[in-house]
A = this chain, B = another copy of it.
């Protein structure tokens, strides 16, 4: 660790870049708990001294760990091991009983039961839906949709983004276009419109967030998101709702329950 090293000569004999070795060292400390969640790492300067390399090289190592989601820089205090707490997210809300409190929707009630403090903002817009949504709702080019946009918070922090699209022709003049929580549940309203949802298809895609999403959800580096697209259908197979939810990886576990279909017992 103290041998003379020529300038700009990276992998040397050891086959591993120096910054990768430093990252490995720190990562193993995190993995086995010698550095616990929330604990502070040595400063860049300290690591630079310890490994006898430039701060630039140390920063390369830390950037790696940052992008692996293991550490979080908190300026100007230092780097800390990331603390992760995930809440359970169940996409099957529309098929479960409505909450007892009229102020709350399904999601809020479940979170409150876990002792968290949920809140949300709702805005409603009439828009040309993005292509994926239009396709799921089988809308023609140019057809409009109503979108109910929710930003949900837990203990004051943004938690997920939830946009529900409905065909404008279906829900116009109904309660769905009002920017408030629908206490009976959107499915009751759909039902009265003769378009009760009885089936859904969920698609989950995993990727890094766009800068916009990262900003809105206050995501640090190294935090991927799940994109959950739920499309709801009537018993005749007509799509009536398309929900896009952006879920930060550090804050959610998505949970499904499945039963064997009745006809496939064999």
Contacts and interface: CB of A to CB of B under 8 A. Distances in A.
Interface residues of A, number: 45
A195 to B, nearest CB: 14
Interface in A108-141: none
Interface string A225-239: 110000000000000
A198 B260 contact: yes
Given A67-B221, A92-B258, A224-B224, A204 B253 contact: yes
Contacts of A167: none
Contact of A205 (B27, B86, B257): B86
Interface in A239-264: 247, 249-250, 252-261, 264
A75 B203 CA distance: 35
A258 B205 contact: no
Contacts of A97: 264
Closest 9 CB pairs of A and B: A224-B224, A206-B249, A204-B254, A202-B256, A69-B208, A198-B260, A200-B258, A67-B67, A206-B226
